[in-house]
Structure 1
Amino acid sequence: MLRGLYTAAAGMVTQQRRHDTATQNIANLNTTGYKQVDSVSHAFPDVLISAMSNGVTKPIGRVNTGVFAEQSISQYLQGDLIESGKPVDFALDTNLQVADPVTGENITFDGSGKYTSPQGEVIYRPQAFFTVQDNDGNNLYTRNGSFTVTPTGNVLSAGGFKVLDEQGNPLVLTEPQDNLKVDGQGNLLDPRTGQPSGTKIGVSVITRPQELVRDGNGVFHAEDVNTAGIRFANNGDNLKVRQGFLENSNVDATQVTVDLNAAYRAYEANQKVIQFYDSSLQKAVNEVGRV
């Protein structure tokens, strides 16, 4: 009986986490550059139930001992681009490809940006991010291109971080922001000649985005740059920097609402199971115990 009580309690904790994740996604439905988070649940290890008869052990079967919310996974799919018309607003339009190591052909990713090879290897679609830097000199990565410019020309992200150029240095404008022109590769153009000025917005390509850690405020960091496969973008990458646009959240409102209701119903069902066990234990103590 107690095992069933613990299993139901574990289910309630898991559904609470699923509910919190869905609520977070809904709250950021209109947050620029926000990436949807999915809660992944796993079962506790199964227990083999056996019976002993005349010294012989016979397996009866397996019983599951509960479920737990193991982790939250970010979905880095491209969000819709919304035109803002502001010269310091930028969005990344990406379709980065990976060649199959066996055939050499481009991999076709599924709707979640994942591909599983015949050998069972899981490959995620590489993603591109604007590169920013905090006050401690740590590089962070964001898809929120709503930038601002200080009176001294420093370009800052929406979270107040320094936006970097492709050399890893803080990006500083020498011209008024109204004259700012950027081409599709992220090169800042000379307003007098229309040619690249030699400065380029720092866009990082992350080969293994699943290694990124969410920091909040729309930014991510990598515990190990080499493991995440981080490098600055080059002209051969299939991506464009769109000036005067912002990337909307990639949250699927319909699916998140379904997940929210499902988590609520599952939580309610586990709650009723606990109430049943509580009633049974009360009867066992107060009534059976008197006999």
Structure 2
Amino acid sequence: MLKDNFNDLLSFMVVARERSFTRAAAQLGVSQSALSHAMRNLEARLDVRLLTRTTRSVVPTEAGEQLLVRLTPHLVEIEQELTALRDRRDRPAGNIRISAGEHAMSAVLWPVLKPFMAHYPDINIEVTVDNGLTDIVDGRFDAGVRLGEQIAKDMIAMRIAPDMRMAVVGSAAYFAQYGVPQTPEALENHRCINMRLPTLGGLYAWEFEQNGREMRVRVDGQLTLNSLPQRLDAAVAGLGLAYVPQDTVVDLVADGQLVRVLESWCPSFEGYHLYYPSRRQHTTAFTLLVEALRNENAQWSTIKHN
């Protein structure tokens, strides 16, 4: 009885969190029908309805929400204790989930992860690349990588990269046809390559600053792309101007494939930080990754306690 209840309560927590039998079944490694059957058995044993099922989703009832609130801390505590026991093994092992933007992943995180995973073959790492402002607590991530100014005050943050500067670039052929913008306002008369922000659903407004004057310009163009490599390729092809991290265009500018404009207007942003919940008990695997990132970027590393 105890074993059945424990397994089913764990399954209930996942279903309630995911709001989906399909996603919960995938996480638990069981079939959707078996999971649904287990939930019905749990409800029958407790003699209370825990989930409301519709054709599109599943949500906890009021009783289910109360159970979830009381249950989650205990199951998380058990999971942490078991993880701590596992961490006493000679070879560090465990799972780490990280949320990072596309540029942060390629420029900062990936160069560290490659040697790290080769050195620790029993540590599994899952990185979700997402340019939105993902809630790492709600998404059950161990950590995220984000620009310093975007991090919530209740997180611990460790700087892992220098300040980042943006660049406006286009091809020589584009400027020969459409002219060179002299001010950010002039971009309204140019074909620009937009990027949609997944968090808000709107198009990203290009940010500029000069002599203390800040400006956000909403640009128009034929093309909207969220992928950084494709935005660069489109700019090289003469399809419009792109607003991208400066480090991604150094070689393209040097060999003449792209030309940089409005350089004096392009601001710097506080560099990338690894951030994580301040009160969370971390595994040995996660601690090792933090140390690897700190050592790789020692000159930028600063721990902030908020």
Normalising by structure 2, we get a TM-score of 0.25
**Which is strand-richer, 1 or 2?**
1
**Which is helix-richer, 1 or 2?**
2
Normalising by structure 1, we get a TM-score of 0.26
